[in-house]
Structure 1
Amino acid sequence: MTQFTSASTGEEVCQEFSSHIKASKVLITGVTPGSIGGEAAFQISRHAPSLLVLAGRNIQTLQELDEKIKLETPSARTRLLVCDLSSQESVRKAAEEVNAYPETIDIMINSAGVMATPYSVTKEGLELQFGTNHIGHFLLTNLILSNMLQQGATNIRVVNVSSSGHKRGPVRFDDPGFEDGRSYDKWQAYGQSKTANMLFSVSLAEKLGAKGVQSFSLYPGRMVTGIVKHLSMEDWLKAGIFPVYNLIFVVAKLTLITMLGWKHPDGSMNTDPKLNWTTTRHGAATLIVAAYNPSIFDQNGSYMVNSQVNNSEAADYALGSQNAERLWGISEDLVGQKFSY
């Protein structure tokens, strides 16, 4: 089997796992054009999945991606699903729609998210990043997963897109809302939500691994997509995303990568190895490996970086079983529903 690296692209990974993609039924959240999820959906669509569900909160952007897919692969079987992860009502409606499909989903890629937003809350009053990035996906996944298992599915994968940003903070179990915003730090809040994504995969693996459910979390690499729309240049500098000395160089190199398809002679797409700069074409590779690689079966619940399982890159608090169980209980309380398998 091919050894994938940071230089691997979504196209290359899909070629490797084409036989696994064929006839699969996959749902991907956060598939706006230009996003990692959108790129993963586009590449997967070229390899004959029997169903590709494009999920997002805006029907117009879903239609835009669907049109791009159909232009290249007219035979692609897609379905559009409107789902606003910041609204549990919307999530429940979307899950009900999916569970009414004649097909049973077998792969979920939870790619949607918001990052470093000004303090805000979901429709239910939860801090926006935690409520959207984790709670929305927790509810959507469990509602659909319950139906998968009831229908007898035994080979299921749930992929949760996290970030190296999880190292900015653990889950604040006693105060995930930052004192209703009074002590809010948008980067710690982002870190909390990304840690939660990882702990969710740990829980799914531990609770449902024996029933054929596999779950992986991952860091797709750092890239410029619509998720950074809330950030000012000051935010980028304060966060250490662009060190001052490297700012002009990084911007120039990202332009070459994005606009001209440039890469380093060694095949690396990183402008700075420590920051893991990449593009959506390369970031999507890790999502696809996590969803389809059969060789990682025995590493259920793990964290992936650069298309490889790499738990050493995870903060201890983000993979701990006790934290995972505690988060599961809090999440059930916040959605008002128990999920016992």
Structure 2
Amino acid sequence: MAPSYNHETRASELVSLYAPQIAGKTILITGVSPASLGESFVKQVAVAKPAAFILAGRSIPKMQALIDELSGTHPEITIKPLSLDLSSFADVRKAAENVNSWADVPHIDVLVDNAGIMAGPYQKTEDGFESQFHTNHLGHFLFTNLIMGKILASKAPRVVVVSSGVHRVGHVRWSDYNFNDGKNYQRWLAYGQSKTANALFGLALAEKLGSRGLLAFPLCPGTCYTNLSVHGADDLVSFAAELTEMDNMYGNKWLWGMSEMHFKDLDQGAATHVFAAFAIGIADHNGSFLSDCHVADPYQEEVYSWALSKTDAERLWALSEKLVGQEFKY
């Protein structure tokens, strides 16, 4: 029976369907800490026997349990841990240099830019940028481009950029992406900005490199409880209320509450990751924003106009080059 391709779709059922596309692939994913969508994606995809997982994260000890589990259940899969702190340009450059130096990894078939932080207090990174914008977007922008040679060496390269439906409350603040050093800060606006940036980055990759065979898809995985909600763990009521307040300001459908929200388990939460990474027949939609295992419908408010703008995607690319201090011309 074919999957339903909606909010109930499970990563595990898609893995069974896409097994021929997964077998033998080299997959790099950021953000695989315990109880995360990244960890769920890896566990599900491992069943279809990819050749290798490169597991990138700030703390290798936090991913050790996953490494040990994979080594026991799927010893045929090569597992390579990679230390990567997306909030530091120096560390991102070091991680990319390591990947590019690995002779046993001649290409990367699928890159999943999955790691992120969500709705924390105002902080600036060591490089001087608001932490969510830096970690969620700028770090991935730099890392992805620095290893692009290995991605393009694949016969069928894909980049998956994990955004969020919360992009609905945060277009890119072109003149104040740092929130005036915290004076204008609201944690959901900052998260929303970073998730809009993720969407525009995926679109820009498709526009710039689609002619060279690259498929790139930004996505919303849906809503599920993961370790990403750590900053709201002590007071989930006010955590959610602040987001609803932003929805009221934007006047989108979520202002009427969470009645349309479908909470997913981790298997369901990773389904759109799997769809974006391995689905066949979606090449004609290169760069499209995906939600619940389909191309998101702007008329149903599954994606918003500022996350679909090719003009903004190009503008963000130029801004990101300026902020990371390096140009990437394709």
Both proteins in one fold, TM over 0.5: yes
- What is the distance in 1 between the residues matched to 2:92 and 2:69? 26
- The 1-side partners of 2:297 and 2:98 are apart by 35
Cα drift, residue 230 of structure 1: 0.8
Question: Normalised by the size of structure 2, how large is the TM-score?
Answer: 0.90
**Which residue of the partner structure matches residue 142 of structure 2?**
139
**How far is 1:98 from its partner?**
1.0
**2:188 is the counterpart of 1:207:** no
Structure 1 segment 180-199 matched on structure 2, within 5 A: 180-199=181-200
- Corresponding residue for 2:306? 317
Instruction: Give the secondary structure class of the aligned counterpart of 1:229.
Output: helix
SS in 1 for 2:281: helix
**1-structure distance, mates of 2:28, 2:262:** 27
**Conserved 8 A contact 1:154-1:211:** no
Structure 2 residue aligned with 1:121? 124
Work out the CA distance in 2 between the residues paired with 1:145 and 1:113. Answer: 20
2:188·2:243 contact (CA, 8 Å) conserved in 1? Answer: no
* Post-superposition offset of 1:3: 4.2
Determine if the alignment matches structure 1 residue 302 to structure 2 residue 288.
Answer: yes
Are the equivalent residues in 1 in contact too, given 2:290–2:296 (CA < 8 A)? Answer: yes
Confirm or deny: 8 A CA contact 1:109 1:159 kept in the other structure: yes
- Amino acid in the other structure paired with 1:113: G
How far did residue 81 of structure 1 move? 0.6
Cα distance, 1:311–1:143 mapped onto 2, change above 3 Å: farther
Distance 2:7 2:281 in 1: 18
1:94-124 per-position Cα deviation (integer Å, ceiling 9, x unaligned): 1111112222112101110000010001120
Residue in structure 2 matched with residue 259 of structure 1 by the alignment: none
Deviation at 1:10, TM superposition (A): 1.4
Aligned to 1:291: 277
| Cα contact 1:302–1:311 (8 A) shared by 2 | no
SS in structure 1 of the partner of residue 231 of structure 2: coil
- Aligned mate of 2:321, from 318, 321, 332: 332
Q: For structure 1, which runs of at least 5 residues remain unmatched after alignment?
A: 242-271
Shift of 1:197: 0.3
Note the alpha carbon deviations across 1:52-100, whole angstroms, 9 max, x for none: 1111100111211111222322222111011010011111111111112
Deviates more, 1:309-318 or 1:116-125: 309-318
The answer for the alignment partner of 2:253 in structure 1 is: none
The CA RMSD measured in Å over matched residues stands at 1.6
What code does the residue aligned with 1:59 have?
A: I
Measure how far apart 1:155 and its partner are: 1.7
SS at structure 2 position matched to 1:74:
coil
Count of aligned pairs between the two proteins: 310
Q: 1:311 to 1:144 in 2, by over 3 A?
A: farther
Separation in 2 of the partners of 1:51 and 1:148?
Answer: 14
Any runs of at least 4 consecutive aligned residues in structure 1 with deviations exceeding 4 A, and if so which? none
Indicate conservation of the 8 Å contact 1:154/1:213, yes or no. Answer: no
SS for the counterpart of 1:115 is: coil
Aligned residues with identical type, % of pairs: 41
1:130–1:190 CA contact under 8 A, matched in 2: yes
Cα separation, partners in 2 of 1:9 and 1:15, compared to 1, 3 Å: same
Q: Distance in 2 between matches of 1:100 and 1:46?
A: 28
Change (3 A) 1:216 1:189: same
Structure 2 residue 273 is the aligned partner of structure 1 residue 280: no
Distance 1:240 1:170, change over 3 A: closer
- 5 Å-filtered alignment, 1:9-20, equals 9-20=10-21
Equivalence map 1:191-270=2 (5 Å): 191-231=192-232, 232-233=234-235, 234-239=237-242
Q: Does 1:68 align with 2:54?
A: no
Gaps spanning 5+ residues in structure 2: where? 245-257
TM-score, normalised relative to structure 1: 0.87
Alpha-carbon deviation of 1:182? 1.2
Where 1:78 maps in the other structure, the secondary structure is strand
SS of 1:294's partner is: coil
Q: Which residue of structure 2 lines up, in the alignment, with residue 256 of structure 1?
A: none
Aligned residue identity for 1:330? L
Structure 1 residue 51, shift from structure 2 partner: 1.2
